[in-house]
Amino acid sequence: MKTAIFSVLLLARALAQAAAGSETYEINPENSSVLFKIRLLWTTNIAGCFCGGVSGRVSLDPDAPQKSVVRLEIKADTLDTGVTQLNNEIKGAGFLNVEKFPLITFKNTSAQRVNDQQYNLTGDLTFHGVTKQLTVRSNLVGQGKDSEGQSRKGSDIYLVIKRSEFGVSGVTPAVGDEIYLTVHVRN
Protein backbone atom coordinates (compact mmCIF):
# COMPACT_ATOMS: atom_id res chain seq x y z
CA MET A 1 0.00 0.00 0.00
CA LYS A 2 2.79 2.41 0.97
CA THR A 3 4.62 1.56 -2.26
CA ALA A 4 1.53 2.34 -4.35
CA ILE A 5 0.98 5.69 -2.60
CA PHE A 6 4.66 6.57 -2.97
CA SER A 7 4.53 5.66 -6.71
CA VAL A 8 1.45 7.83 -7.24
CA LEU A 9 3.11 10.75 -5.47
CA LEU A 10 6.25 10.38 -7.61
CA LEU A 11 4.16 10.24 -10.77
CA ALA A 12 2.17 13.33 -9.73
CA ARG A 13 5.41 15.22 -9.01
CA ALA A 14 6.90 14.22 -12.38
CA LEU A 15 3.73 15.35 -14.19
CA ALA A 16 3.71 18.66 -12.32
CA GLN A 17 7.35 19.29 -13.20
CA ALA A 18 6.70 18.43 -16.86
CA ALA A 19 3.71 20.76 -16.97
CA ALA A 20 5.73 23.54 -15.32
CA GLY A 21 8.40 23.29 -18.06
CA SER A 22 5.93 23.77 -20.90
CA GLU A 23 4.22 27.11 -21.44
CA THR A 24 0.97 27.07 -23.41
CA TYR A 25 -1.19 30.05 -24.24
CA GLU A 26 -3.83 31.22 -26.64
CA ILE A 27 -2.83 34.15 -28.82
CA ASN A 28 -4.80 37.28 -28.01
CA PRO A 29 -5.85 39.04 -31.27
CA GLU A 30 -6.20 42.37 -29.44
CA ASN A 31 -2.53 42.32 -28.35
CA SER A 32 -1.05 40.64 -31.43
CA SER A 33 -0.30 41.90 -34.94
CA VAL A 34 1.68 41.26 -38.08
CA LEU A 35 3.77 44.09 -39.46
CA PHE A 36 4.75 43.93 -43.12
CA LYS A 37 6.98 45.83 -45.50
CA ILE A 38 7.41 45.47 -49.26
CA ARG A 39 9.49 47.52 -51.69
CA LEU A 40 7.69 49.91 -54.07
CA LEU A 41 9.32 51.63 -57.06
CA TRP A 42 12.80 50.57 -55.88
CA THR A 43 13.00 53.66 -53.63
CA THR A 44 10.38 53.34 -50.93
CA ASN A 45 8.34 50.76 -49.02
CA ILE A 46 4.69 50.00 -48.52
CA ALA A 47 4.27 49.24 -44.83
CA GLY A 48 1.32 48.23 -42.74
CA CYS A 49 -0.11 45.58 -40.51
CA PHE A 50 -2.66 42.86 -40.14
CA CYS A 51 -4.03 44.41 -36.97
CA GLY A 52 -6.31 42.45 -34.66
CA GLY A 53 -6.45 39.49 -37.02
CA VAL A 54 -3.89 37.15 -35.46
CA SER A 55 -5.03 34.13 -33.46
CA GLY A 56 -3.78 30.68 -32.59
CA ARG A 57 -1.93 28.78 -29.89
CA VAL A 58 1.66 28.57 -28.66
CA SER A 59 3.15 25.80 -26.55
CA LEU A 60 6.88 26.09 -25.89
CA ASP A 61 8.79 23.49 -23.92
CA PRO A 62 12.37 24.63 -23.17
CA ASP A 63 13.29 21.16 -21.88
CA ALA A 64 11.91 19.37 -24.96
CA PRO A 65 11.87 21.93 -27.80
CA GLN A 66 10.90 19.27 -30.33
CA LYS A 67 7.51 19.11 -28.56
CA SER A 68 6.92 22.86 -28.97
CA VAL A 69 3.91 23.80 -31.10
CA VAL A 70 3.04 27.10 -32.79
CA ARG A 71 -0.20 27.51 -34.73
CA LEU A 72 -1.03 30.91 -36.25
CA GLU A 73 -3.99 32.19 -38.23
CA ILE A 74 -3.99 35.65 -39.78
CA LYS A 75 -7.18 37.13 -41.23
CA ALA A 76 -6.10 38.63 -44.56
CA ASP A 77 -8.88 41.22 -44.55
CA THR A 78 -7.39 42.92 -41.46
CA LEU A 79 -4.60 44.37 -43.65
CA ASP A 80 -4.16 48.10 -43.05
CA THR A 81 -1.64 50.46 -44.65
CA GLY A 82 -3.34 53.60 -43.36
CA VAL A 83 -4.55 54.45 -46.91
CA THR A 84 -8.03 53.15 -47.78
CA GLN A 85 -7.50 53.08 -51.54
CA LEU A 86 -4.23 51.18 -51.17
CA ASN A 87 -5.84 48.75 -48.69
CA ASN A 88 -8.61 47.99 -51.19
CA GLU A 89 -6.11 47.46 -54.01
CA ILE A 90 -3.92 45.08 -51.98
CA LYS A 91 -6.93 43.16 -50.64
CA GLY A 92 -8.44 42.89 -54.14
CA ALA A 93 -8.24 40.14 -56.73
CA GLY A 94 -5.06 41.62 -58.27
CA PHE A 95 -2.99 40.91 -55.13
CA LEU A 96 -4.17 39.08 -52.00
CA ASN A 97 -7.72 38.30 -53.13
CA VAL A 98 -8.91 38.14 -49.51
CA GLU A 99 -12.38 36.96 -50.51
CA LYS A 100 -10.95 33.78 -52.05
CA PHE A 101 -8.04 33.40 -49.59
CA PRO A 102 -9.27 34.76 -46.24
CA LEU A 103 -6.59 33.16 -44.03
CA ILE A 104 -2.81 33.00 -43.86
CA THR A 105 -1.71 30.13 -41.62
CA PHE A 106 1.49 28.73 -40.13
CA LYS A 107 1.80 25.37 -38.38
CA ASN A 108 5.20 24.23 -37.23
CA THR A 109 6.36 20.67 -37.86
CA SER A 110 9.54 20.97 -35.79
CA ALA A 111 11.22 23.33 -33.36
CA GLN A 112 14.82 23.82 -32.36
CA ARG A 113 15.91 25.81 -29.33
CA VAL A 114 18.83 28.07 -30.24
CA ASN A 115 19.16 29.61 -26.76
CA ASP A 116 16.94 30.63 -23.83
CA GLN A 117 15.30 33.38 -25.90
CA GLN A 118 15.30 32.03 -29.46
CA TYR A 119 13.74 29.12 -31.35
CA ASN A 120 13.91 28.15 -35.02
CA LEU A 121 10.53 26.85 -36.15
CA THR A 122 10.16 24.84 -39.34
CA GLY A 123 6.64 24.45 -40.62
CA ASP A 124 4.04 24.93 -43.28
CA LEU A 125 3.01 28.45 -44.32
CA THR A 126 -0.20 28.63 -46.33
CA PHE A 127 -0.57 31.95 -48.12
CA HIS A 128 -2.79 32.74 -51.11
CA GLY A 129 -3.80 29.06 -51.35
CA VAL A 130 -0.21 27.78 -51.62
CA THR A 131 1.53 25.84 -48.85
CA LYS A 132 5.31 25.89 -48.56
CA GLN A 133 7.66 24.71 -45.85
CA LEU A 134 9.95 27.32 -44.33
CA THR A 135 11.98 28.00 -41.22
CA VAL A 136 11.31 31.10 -39.15
CA ARG A 137 13.06 32.65 -36.17
CA SER A 138 11.04 33.17 -33.00
CA ASN A 139 12.39 35.38 -30.22
CA LEU A 140 10.76 35.22 -26.80
CA VAL A 141 10.14 38.77 -25.61
CA GLY A 142 9.54 37.89 -22.02
CA GLN A 143 6.81 37.30 -19.59
CA GLY A 144 5.43 39.18 -16.67
CA LYS A 145 2.32 40.45 -14.96
CA ASP A 146 0.13 43.22 -16.32
CA SER A 147 -1.47 45.98 -14.21
CA GLU A 148 -4.27 43.58 -13.24
CA GLY A 149 -1.88 40.83 -12.15
CA GLN A 150 -2.52 38.64 -15.19
CA SER A 151 0.43 36.68 -16.58
CA ARG A 152 1.52 37.92 -20.03
CA LYS A 153 3.81 36.13 -22.48
CA GLY A 154 4.90 36.80 -26.00
CA SER A 155 7.29 36.27 -28.85
CA ASP A 156 8.24 37.92 -32.12
CA ILE A 157 8.50 35.82 -35.26
CA TYR A 158 10.53 37.07 -38.23
CA LEU A 159 10.28 35.86 -41.80
CA VAL A 160 10.76 36.92 -45.41
CA ILE A 161 8.65 35.39 -48.15
CA LYS A 162 8.67 35.82 -51.91
CA ARG A 163 5.18 36.61 -53.07
CA SER A 164 5.86 35.08 -56.50
CA GLU A 165 6.40 31.68 -54.84
CA PHE A 166 2.85 31.87 -53.46
CA GLY A 167 1.18 32.99 -56.69
CA VAL A 168 0.72 36.64 -55.66
CA SER A 169 1.62 38.32 -58.94
CA GLY A 170 0.11 41.77 -58.50
CA VAL A 171 -0.72 44.19 -61.26
CA THR A 172 2.51 46.17 -61.43
CA PRO A 173 6.16 45.14 -61.67
CA ALA A 174 7.12 48.12 -59.49
CA VAL A 175 6.14 46.18 -56.35
CA GLY A 176 8.97 44.09 -54.89
CA ASP A 177 8.86 40.32 -54.61
CA GLU A 178 10.06 40.00 -51.01
CA ILE A 179 7.63 40.64 -48.16
CA TYR A 180 9.24 41.25 -44.77
CA LEU A 181 7.01 40.15 -41.88
CA THR A 182 7.27 40.57 -38.12
CA VAL A 183 4.61 38.67 -36.20
CA HIS A 184 4.03 39.98 -32.67
CA VAL A 185 2.37 37.14 -30.74
CA ARG A 186 0.98 37.93 -27.27
CA ASN A 187 -1.40 36.20 -24.89
* CATH classification of the domain holding 134: 2.40.128.110
Q: Whole-prediction pTM value?
A: 0.79
Q: Which domain holds residue 44?
A: 23-186
Residue 8 lies in a domain: no
Asked whether residue 173 carries a pLDDT value surpassing 80, the answer given is: no
**Residue 114 placed within a domain:** yes
Quick check: 6 pLDDT over 50? no
> Given a cut of 50, is residue 2 above it in pLDDT?
no
Angle at 139 between CA 80 and CA 149, to 5 degrees: 85
**155 found inside a domain:** yes
For residues 19-29, average pLDDT: 73
Q: What is d(CA 13, CA 162) in angstroms, rounded to the nearest whole number?
A: 48
Q: How far is CA 25 from the centre of its chain?
A: 13
Q: What is the mean pLDDT of residues 167-174?
A: 74
Position 94 scores a pLDDT of 84
What pLDDT, on the 0 to 100 scale, is given for residue 61? 80
- Of 48 and 146, the one with more pLDDT: 48
Neighbours of 182 (CB within 10 A): 14
Please tell me the total count of domains within the chain.
1
Examine residue 14 and state whether it is found in any structural domain, yes or no. no
Residue 5 is assigned to a structural domain of this protein? no
Per the model's pLDDT, the better-predicted residue between 6 and 30 turns out to be 30
What share of the chain has pLDDT > 90, as a percent? 39
Span 80-122, pLDDT tens digits? 999 999 899 889 988 899 999 999 999 999 999 888 888 899 9
| 9 has a pLDDT exceeding 70 | no
pLDDT greater than 90 at residue 41: no
Q: Does 6 fall in a domain?
A: no
Residue 9 lies in a domain: no
Q: Is residue 46 part of a domain?
A: yes
pLDDT at 185: 86
pLDDT at residue 146, as a whole number: 67
Rounded Cα distance, 152 and 78, in Å:
24
Number of C-alpha atoms within 13 angstroms, CB side, residue 112? 7
